[in-house]
Amino acid sequence: MPKKKIIIIGAGLAGLSAAWHLKKRGIESTVFEKEDTVGGLCRSTRRGNFVFDYCGHLLHFRNSYTLKLAGSLLNVNLARHERNAWVNNSGIFIRYPFQANLCALPRQIALECLLEFIHASKLPRPRNIQENFLNWVNATFGKGIARHFMVPYNKKFWATSLSRMSCPWSDRFIPQPSLSDIINGFFSESGNRFGYSATFWYPANGGIDQLARGFEKQIGSISKSCCISGIDLKNNEITIKGAGRERFDTLISTMPLPELLKIANPLPGKVISSLKQLRWNSILNLNLGVEGNCQDNKHWVYFPQKETIFFRVGFFHNFSDNNAPEGKSSLYAEVSYSKNRPIDRKKIISRVLRDLHRSGILGKKNRVSVLDVNDIKFGYPIYDRHYSRATSVIKEFLSRNNIIACGRYGSWEYMSMEDTILDGKRAAEQIKP
């Protein structure tokens, strides 16, 4: 009996994880990657003596399995860090999470946040609260914390209306301190870091791409610089641009759903309609190598105010000493945008640099010597009122056509790096020998 032909589209973390878990079970697969290197968004670049990741990517582990797996892939080249994250609110640095460290705010604003939180905590929880993210924020944190951080930050990050978003992801990714935690944080800085990101792991040497390279070494051959330009659903074939066609029995796709469905044929009307309902934001990530020391102890900082163009700044040199030469610093600034909230591409770099200086992240002595810009079309899938039905229709259709959707963009879900690795494992386990 001939072996089943398993094809994986994409050698990001999800595709690599799927291939690795299939190989562990003795099942062969062929991985096609459009770039000339593996990793997807889990990539790193070297610019002179600076190491930059493609965007802000850190490893947070809830699951002992993934921690053990990452440790084995990196061959102990994995360092544990206690998160040192902050919120910059109109020039005031507040330890993250904002809602548990109100003591750093002006007293009147802190009191407003505390009293509104107490008021909200006494109200009955509205039905179907997760169908409206704005209502969820107000009900969970009160209108004070919502007004001074949660609403402006999330509007900036998601680049869409919060009242049109659902939030099945919120309980997993947004820290929700108790009333006693909020009260304690009103009087003094909290010693509790809260949330899934309280600790993180990062390679001691090399950037985050070391994890992807660890997968690649154990998987073996991966077909790179291979762009999939068509998927024939009737004949179970993919077309590789400039390299012919390949048949498959099962296709594991980590391509963004909008990209996948553009090249798949034939599609029924309800799938086409569902495709048109998918929404997402995009991320422009600016990496910088600068002269001198910069924010020596911080890992990343959130910026909720609209006056600052970026929503987050992170510091590669504080993830690993090897990411920047001695006496220099490496950092990234992330700007979110969407079709409805575009950015001025001609002015964006100068605006980011200006705001880095205005916010105090860069000082007069921090001359920028290296710039590296990554424009990420698909940033985060947006959960709106159409999300659940549209993704269900699409995934059900793909499944009937021997395609397993996998990873953040393939599954079209808000996932951490750990989630992505586990989703690759899930996809591999659906395939019978």
Q: For residue 69, give the nearest of 406, 423, 421, 417 by alpha carbon.
A: 421
pTM comes to 0.95
Assess whether pLDDT exceeds 90 at residue 374: yes
Output the pLDDT for position 35: 96
Return the H-helix or E-strand segment holding 20: helix 13-24
* Cβ–Cβ < 8 Å for 315, 294: yes
β-pair type (50-53, 44-47): antiparallel
C-alpha to C-alpha distance for 333 and 310, rounded to whole angstroms = 6
Question: What mean pLDDT do residues 76-81 have?
Answer: 94
Share of the chain above pLDDT 70, in %: 100
Q: For residue 334, give the nearest of 382, 282, 280, 286 by alpha carbon.
A: 286
User: Residue 204 to residues 28, 58, 71, 79, 207: CA-CA distances in angstroms?
Assistant: 32, 12, 12, 6, 8
Domains of the chain and any CATH numbers: 6-44+60-81+203-270+385-429 (3.50.50.60), 105-185 (no CATH), 280-381 (3.90.660.20)
Assess whether pLDDT exceeds 70 at residue 64: yes
* Cβ–Cβ < 8 Å for 212, 10: no
Q: Which residues contact 232 (CB under 8 A, 6 or more apart)?
A: 238, 239, 245, 265
β-pair type (244-247, 312-315): unpaired
* Cβ–Cβ < 8 Å for 293, 389: no
Output the pLDDT for position 125: 87
Which tens digits make up the pLDDT trace of 122-136? 999 888 888 999 999
Which tens digits make up the pLDDT trace of 217-249? 999 899 999 999 999 999 999 999 988 999 999
Question: What mean pLDDT do residues 316-324 have?
Answer: 96
Q: Is 153 helix (H, G, I), strand (E, B) or coil?
A: helix
- To which residue do tokens 């991985």 refer? 31
* Cβ–Cβ < 8 Å for 138, 120: yes
Q: Is 67 exposed, middle or buried (0-12, 13-18, 19+ CB in 10 A)?
A: middle
Output the pLDDT for position 2: 62
Peptide bond into 97 cis (omega under 30): yes
Output the pLDDT for position 193: 83
Output the pLDDT for position 127: 83
